A and B are shown apart, each in its own frame.
Chain A
């Protein structure tokens, strides 16, 4: 249990479904928690459009219903990220990652701008197809080792995890909003409303930091 990013402080067991806190995961968890609280209490920014060639500028108006929906989605995204940070089960990790993908789309989907809608749709297509390697990877984990528990995998007593399973898992996480597919998300950031949109980036970053730990197991 040495390569589990530190010795777990606490393991909460529900049978197979376990949650554990190591120095690494608790840091990520607290980051997600803090940012979710920020989202909960903050008001959205009002994006400023400046007309070139003059002094004129306008601020975009965000309706209350739109703000409520986006805030709800941002909080849901924070909760899903927190779940992905502390879970000790590979399949739960993939489910939380997929949930982060959905909520990322949801955060910007309420915006009525056609550019944003289109970008959210294209990103949604990528995120949805990324669930294939994501769930596939988790299933190969289970098939090869007979266990989905990260604690069991970290003990080293199980058969080695095939490389393809790890590759699938990372590919799935990348598809849910990391580097090469980030281009689709960048266009979504035309959506006004700073704290909510930043939740998209933060959740992807946290998930990626966690998957590095996950693939180092077993």
Chain B
């Protein structure tokens, strides 16, 4: 195992050196920002090489912190370059807006997500809805979606209380948690899809 780890870390470090070299010779601010994303992935590579459950548990916070920094930096970049004045108005691609393909693809994703259930399923189903809303320029009252998200969150919390205080009803708690989180993640991601652009505010 130790031998494999050594080879793996060698590969990751070489990748890191290449990425840092690219970062060093690049002068455009936006390009450097995009390259940083690549650099960040090598850090996740080093963590993933642990190859245990611990690695999975460490990648999530690492990824979250990385994304938070990238979001903060992108905001600063927008302010710095004064590009806040022209907001994005969704994907105005005529072919996508009229064809049936987005509907079919997003239905497939939603059904597949429901079958998967849990966090992953929510992600997949949410992605389907995001794609649909983005391609159709759909406008919806966001309050309703937010309410659905809140209720499913409450369901999830309820399931956790069930696990802690009434462990004999674990099956119903498991079902509640799975359904709650699939709804929660789906709705959250579809909110991302509808909030694209400046439609409602």
Contact = CB atoms under 8 A, between A and B. Distances in A.
Interface of A: 91, 95, 98-99, 101-102, 105-106, 109, 112, 114, 117-118, 120-121, 124-125, 127-129, 131-132, 134-136, 138-140, 142-143
Contact of A114 (B16, B20, B72, B80): B80
A146 to B, nearest CB: 9
Of A106, A117, A134, A135, most B-chain CB atoms within 10 Å: A135
A109 B75 contact: yes
A144 B43 CA distance: 17
Which bucket holds chain B's interface residue count? 35 or more
Given A128-B36, A131-B43, A121 B69 contact: no
B73 A143 contact: no
Given A121-B80, A129-B36, A129-B39, A143 B69 contact: no
B43 A121 contact: no
Interface in B17-33: 20, 23, 29, 32-33
Q: Is the interface of A mostly helix, strand, loop or mixed?
A: helix
A102 B47 contact: no
A121 B42 contact: no
Of B33, B43, B50, most A-chain CB atoms within 10 Å: B43
Given A95-B65, A128-B69, A135-B46, 16 more contacts: A91-B58, A102-B65, A105-B76, A106-B72, A109-B72, A114-B80, A117-B79, A121-B73, A121-B77, A124-B72, A129-B20, A132-B42, A136-B46, A138-B47, A142-B50, A142-B54
